[in-house]
Amino acid sequence: MKAYITRRLLLAVPVAWGVVTMVFLIIHMTPGDPVAIMLGESATIADMESLRSELGLDKPVLEQYAKFLLNVVSFDLGNSIYTGRSVAESISTRYGATVELALASMALAILLAIPLGVMAAARKDTVVDRVGMALSLIGVSMPSFWIGPLLIIFFAIDLKWFPVSGRGGVESLVLPAITLGTAMAAILSRLTRATMIDTLGEDYITTARAKGLENYVVLFKHALRNALLPVVTVAGLQLGALLAGAIITETIFSWPGIGRLTIQAINARDYPLVQGCVLAIALSYTFVNIVVDILYSFVDPRVRLR
């Protein structure tokens, strides 16, 4: 177990390296000059040159890259070009908001998707199945920037159940979590249905039924347990994606998360902040997947971690 975790964590290192290298290349290829954006149009060439050299942007790209890697290795993400604040600090104040939203969406999606998937599988090819799956497809086909405002109009304005936007108590979390969780619930419920159908065809289920166990017990105790395996994996991948993909939902609900921070950093060509955000997102993604794989081994003793 310990060896496995160590191995997985070590494997995360090349991935992290790849991600930071990729982001470094991309931002240096993208047109736009942080110095010009920062100093405005009245800046003289001399001013721009001096700021550029202060930020190290006048050095050869390879040298900048080497320096950047060295800093990352020593856990120094540098300071934001604009605010002067440390990148690590800027990210940490925003990270919690994103994690909170991602976990809430996930919880909601799972609570909705698994019962729906099980029900659809148990009554395969009936009206319940068809309607359930059609609903889930509708869920996946509504872009969050459309569903979000509709939810606000209905639940916050007409019913006044929840605040319109902003990050406050638990009640402010509900609408953005639904917005973000809908598509995921759709994906998970379809997956649950598919794996449940596979599992329900297995011999041991037939045996269990033959023993006269109640349908409910067979479904939830015997079948679901095994059907959940791929669902857990995909849920993990999705959770990772949520950490990065919440930009639109964060924008609509004025949620101060890392997605908006990333977009702003990109727009301002705040290189250190962009690099820091992407690294944080990538590491969370990788970490979530390691955790999921470990969880997997708890759920299914047949899976042995190597």
Q: Which of residues 43-82 bind other proteins (CB under 8 A)?
A: 43-48, 50-51, 54, 82
125 binds other proteins (CB under 8 A): yes
Nearest to 185 by CA among 243, 235, 113, 118: 113
Among all chains, which residue has been given the structure tokens 């148990």? Answer: 122
Instruction: Choose which of 1, 14, 159, 306 interacts with other proteins (CB under 8 A).
Output: 14
Q: Rounded to whole angstroms, what are the CA distances from 215 to 130, 200, 210, 221? A: 21, 11, 11, 10
248 binds other proteins (CB under 8 A): yes
Nearest to 23 by CA among 288, 283, 237: 283
CB closer to other proteins out of 119 and 212: 119
Nearest to 147 by CA among 173, 116, 183: 183
CB closer to other proteins out of 213 and 290: 290
Query: What distance in Å separates the CA atoms of residue 126 and residue 255, rounded to the nearest whole number?
Result: 41
Instruction: Choose which of 77, 122, 152, 218 interacts with other proteins (CB under 8 A).
Output: 152
How far apart are CB 275 and other proteins at their closest, in Å? 10
Q: Check the CA dihedral 139-142-145-150 and report its sign.
A: negative
Stretch that binds other proteins, among 59-67, 68-76, 87-95, 209-217 (CB under 8 A): 87-95
Instruction: Choose which of 58, 76, 100, 293 interacts with other proteins (CB under 8 A).
Output: 100
Give the number of other Cβ atoms within 10 Å of residue 103's Cβ: 15
Instruction: Choose which of 238, 262, 272, 273 interacts with other proteins (CB under 8 A).
Output: 262
203 binds other proteins (CB under 8 A): no
Binding to other proteins (CB under 8 A) within 168-197 occurs at 168-170, 173, 197
Cα of 156 vs its chain's centroid, Å: 26
Strand partners, 144: none
Mask for 217-236, x = binds other proteins (CB under 8 A)? ---x---xx--x---x----
Stretch that binds other proteins, among 12-20, 60-68, 70-78, 207-215 (CB under 8 A): 12-20
